[in-house]
Amino acid sequence: MKRKYEIAVLSKGAYARTVRLYVPQKADRAIIMHDGQNVFYDEDAAYKKSWRAIDALKAAGVKNTAIIGIDSVGATRNDDYLPFPTELDKYGLPLCGGKAEVYADYIQTIIIPYLDKRFGFKFYAMAGSSAGANMTAYYAAKLDPRLRAYAMFSAALFVSPQAYGKFLNETKFDPNALYAVYAGGSEQTGEVPDPEIIKQVPQLFVNDAFDITNALRASGATNITLDYNHNGVHDETCWRDPFKLFVKNFADL
């Protein structure tokens, strides 16, 4: 299959990531997405299920929006995406996370300036799922004026409940930005072996979606889409539809 995106490797010192760029001719804005290998084609995706982002643009009739996928690296993904160390050691899970500022700095100082210089986009959005949604919430708190929209699908704030509770209580989000929040009612992950917490996981994803939405509202945000799919599982097949709506709403800004 011929890929419709371009690949670049962008680095800051020893920190380097593969970046996949799909830029329509008339694009004046871009959505930056985490787990870039899962963004465009099922064949490239880690679990052979992708966002099918190009199809989303076409289905929404959107021609002014580019998609920028930053690949994750399996061994360091949680460190990249989780701003706070995990608090799940009582379930026998290894500690990880707490280094997302390095990744955020990479986006701020390498990715966006590169896109500005090469394509001259007017503004940006960010979208992520699972730990990538945690990262998106963390980045939204920076109030980067270049970003106008954020999509957080199946955020897993419950991996560090105390830290994220404090984060949501103390953070003032941009009241004028566009936000999309999603959770599924049948979500599981393959990373939690404890049978007791497995029973709790679907409700934890839903609780996190409402907690994020409440924090956004407390900051004065009104342009929020909260989507719940009772049968939604934890993969890209269930994130595609809310993503299409996010694409359309961002394109209309």
How large a percentage of the chain has pLDDT more than 90?
81
Q: What does the pLDDT look like over 134-168, one tens digit per residue? A: 999 999 999 999 999 999 999 999 889 999 999 99
Helix axes 161-170, 195-218, angle to 10 degrees: 10
Task: Examine the pLDDT at 212 and tell me if it is beyond 70.
Answer: yes
State the pTM of this model.
0.94
Paired with 224 in beta bridges are 179
- Per-residue pLDDT, averaged over 220-244, amounts to 95
Q: What does the pLDDT look like over 36-82, one tens digit per residue? A: 999 999 999 988 999 999 999 999 999 999 999 999 998 899 999 99
- Give domain status of residue 65, yes or no: yes
Contact indicator for 156, 132 with CB cutoff of 8 Å: no
What's the domain range around 76?
6-251
Q: How many CB atoms lie within 10 A of CB 204?
A: 18
Rounded Cα–Cα distance for residues 216 and 179 (Å): 8
Instruction: Please report the pLDDT score of residue 87 as a whole number.
Output: 86
**Token code pair at residue 245:** 């709506």
Sign of CA dihedral 195, 79, 131, 77: negative
Q: What does the pLDDT look like over 182-209, one tens digit per residue? A: 999 888 755 555 556 666 778 889 999 9
Please tell me whether residue 168 adopts helix, strand or coil conformation.
helix
Contact indicator for 159, 88 with CB cutoff of 8 Å: yes
Give the C-alpha distances (Å, rounded to integers) separating 107 from 37, 81, 104, 190.
17, 12, 5, 28
Instruction: Please report the pLDDT score of residue 97 as a whole number.
Output: 86
Instruction: Please report the pLDDT score of residue 202 as a whole number.
Output: 81
Instruction: Please report the pLDDT score of residue 52 as a whole number.
Output: 97
- Give domain status of residue 52, yes or no: yes
Task: Examine the pLDDT at 221 and tell me if it is beyond 60.
Answer: yes
How large a percentage of the chain has pLDDT more than 70?
92
- Give domain status of residue 1, yes or no: no
- Give domain status of residue 206, yes or no: yes
Residues in the chain: 253
Q: Is 186 left (phi over 0), alpha (psi -120 to 50) or beta?
A: alpha
Rounded Cα–Cα distance for residues 228 and 246 (Å): 14
Instruction: Please report the pLDDT score of residue 189 as a whole number.
Output: 59
Task: Examine the pLDDT at 95 and tell me if it is beyond 90.
Answer: no
Task: Examine the pLDDT at 132 and tell me if it is beyond 90.
Answer: yes
**Token code pair at residue 45:** 């995706």
Instruction: Please report the pLDDT score of residue 193 as a whole number.
Output: 54
Least confident of 21-25, 30-34, 90-94: 90-94
Q: What is the DSSP letter of 133?
A: H
Task: Examine the pLDDT at 92 and tell me if it is beyond 80.
Answer: no
| Count helices and strands in the chain by DSSP H and E runs | 8, 8
| Domains: count for the chain | 1
- Give domain status of residue 88, yes or no: yes
Give 28's pLDDT tier (boundaries 50, 70, 90): very high
Instruction: Please report the pLDDT score of residue 199 as a whole number.
Output: 65
- Give domain status of residue 247, yes or no: yes
- Per-residue pLDDT, averaged over 172-185, amounts to 97
Instruction: Please report the pLDDT score of residue 1 as a whole number.
Output: 55
- Give domain status of residue 156, yes or no: yes
Instruction: Please report the pLDDT score of residue 12 as a whole number.
Output: 96
- Give domain status of residue 180, yes or no: yes
Task: Examine the pLDDT at 235 and tell me if it is beyond 70.
Answer: yes
The mean pLDDT value of the chain amounts to 92
Rounded Cα–Cα distance for residues 93 and 189 (Å): 13
Q: Which CATH number goes with the domain that contains 237? A: 3.40.50.1820
Instruction: Please report the pLDDT score of residue 13 as a whole number.
Output: 94
